[in-house]
């Protein structure tokens, strides 16, 4: 796990965007399958990728994208659906085919079958080349709340009270927040070939500390990422404030900058 501690969200967005660019370049003509997260954490990175598309010619034309999750009960056109969110904040501003941006159907009459179908579609697409993640204050990634199986697949999941309260800012009241969602499981997410997670703010500090330095446990679902061979974590100073090994992470990044061959190892 590679930990980058940055001064602010803008610098963090540049680091995350660099991971996207590297992945797109490695795929070349064959195209890339991107895993996209919603919520506030990835928005600065999406803004930076839009800028690079407009100003530097970064192309997503050969890419496909799969969303991590979707609220159950919200149709695709609902302004708080993640289907709508990702288009408003990212994909409608770049050159990806809209039909290639896929999300679970939160309005499905049979969400259990929809979850199984979505997991199957991910496998049939060849899996995700790069998955971007945020992290909840309780350590959830996607909607894998504390207690989720580390091997879980895409499924129906009930949202924790803390998640509902955190997401209430996007709705008129907390009572309007859906209480269930379709979410890729931890096992599904871990099948991505490369993962980048970004977080800002002191409210994420405990979750980030557990993610990087805690024991692997269903109590903190994000700790499952410790089992993945290619994870980049990008956090600002506030989100990094509870990392006991923060000085080591900074030292490691300085060494890589001074000796680029170390980063290749």
pTM for this one?
A: 0.93
The catalytic position among 70, 89, 138, 167 is: 138
Question: Sorting pLDDT into bands at 50, 70 and 90, what band is 265?
Answer: very low
**Helix ranges (DSSP H) in 71-223:** 82-89, 111-124, 161-167, 186-189, 205-213
Which residue out of 145, 166, 167, 236 is catalytically annotated? Answer: 145
Among candidate residues 4, 48, 69, 167, the one labeled active-site is 69
- For residues 238-245, average pLDDT: 98
Sheet strands (E) in 82-161:
101-102, 130-133, 155-158
Note if 140 is an active site residue.
yes
Helices 43-56 and 9-27, interaxial angle, to 10°? Answer: 60
177: Cβ–Cβ under 8 A, 6 or more apart, which residues? 159, 164, 167, 168, 170, 171
Q: Identify whether the C-beta of residue 256 lies closer than 8 Å to the C-beta of residue 262.
A: yes
Confidence of residue 253 (pLDDT cuts 50, 70, 90): confident
Q: Which of 48, 114, 119, 140 is catalytic?
A: 140
Q: Does position 182 have pLDDT exceeding 50, yes or no?
A: yes
Q: How confident is the model at residue 252 (pLDDT cuts 50, 70, 90)?
A: confident
> 195, 230 in Cβ contact below 8 A?
yes
Domain boundaries, the chain: 2-107+128-135+194-264
- Tally the residues of the chain: 265
Please report the pLDDT score of residue 85 as a whole number: 96
DSSP conformation letters of 178-217: -SEEEE--HHHHTTSS-EEEEE-SGGGHHHHHHHHHSPPB
Active site residue 167: no
Residues in Cβ contact with 239 at an 8 Å cutoff, skipping those fewer than 6 apart: 199, 200, 201, 202, 204, 205, 208
Burial (CB count within 10 angstroms: exposed 0-12, middle 13-18, buried 19+), residue 186: buried
Instruction: Choose which CATH entry (3.40.50.1360, 3.50.50.60, 3.40.50.150, 3.40.250.10) describes domain 2-107+128-135+194-264.
Output: 3.40.50.1360
Band (264; pLDDT cuts 50, 70, 90): very low
SS3 call for 114: helix
Question: Residues 24-38: what's their mean pLDDT?
Answer: 91
Q: Is the pLDDT of residue 262 over 80?
A: no
- Tell me the pLDDT tens digit for each residue of 61-114: 999 999 999 999 999 989 999 999 999 999 999 999 999 999 999 999 999 999
- Residues 35-60 have pLDDT tens digits of 999 989 999 999 999 999 999 999 99
- Summarize the confidence of residues 166-182 as an average pLDDT: 90
* Among 18-22, 127-131, 260-264, the least confident range: 260-264
What pLDDT does residue 261 have?
Answer: 56
Hey, what are 16's tokens? Answer: 């995350």
């Amino acid at each position: 796990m590679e930990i980058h501690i940055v001064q602010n969200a803008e610098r963090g967005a540049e680091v995350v965007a660099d991971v996207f660019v590297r992945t797109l370049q490695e795929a070349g003509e064959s195209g890339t399958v991107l895993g996209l997260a919603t919520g506030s954490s990835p928005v600065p990175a999406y803004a930076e990728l839009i800028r690079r598309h407009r100003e530097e010619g970064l192309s997503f034309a050969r890419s496909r994208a799969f969303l991590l999750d979707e609220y159950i009960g919200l149709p695709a056109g609902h302004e708080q659906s993640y289907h709508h969110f990702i288009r408003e904040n990212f994909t409608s501003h770049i050159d990806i085919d809209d039909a290639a941006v896929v999300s679970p159907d939160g309005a499905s009459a049979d969400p259990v079958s929809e979850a199984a179908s979505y997991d199957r579609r991910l496998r049939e697409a060849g899996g995700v080349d790069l998955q971007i993640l945020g992290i909840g204050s309780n350590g959830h990634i996607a909607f894998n709340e504390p207690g989720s199986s580390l091997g879980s697949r895409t499924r129906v999941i009930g949202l924790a009270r803390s998640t509902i309260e955190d997401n209430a800012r996007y709705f008129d009241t907390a009572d309007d927040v859906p209480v269930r969602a379709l979410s890729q499981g931890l096992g599904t997410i871990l099948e991505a070939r490369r993962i980048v997670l970004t977080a800002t703010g002191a409210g994420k500090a405990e979750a980030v500390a557990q993610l990087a330095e805690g024991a692997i446990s269903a109590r903190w679902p994000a700790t499952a990422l410790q089992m993945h061979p290619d994870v980049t974590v990008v956090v600002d100073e506030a989100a990094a404030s509870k990392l006991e090994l923060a000085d080591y992470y900074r030292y490691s990044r300085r060494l890589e900058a001074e000796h680029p061959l170390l980063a290749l190892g």
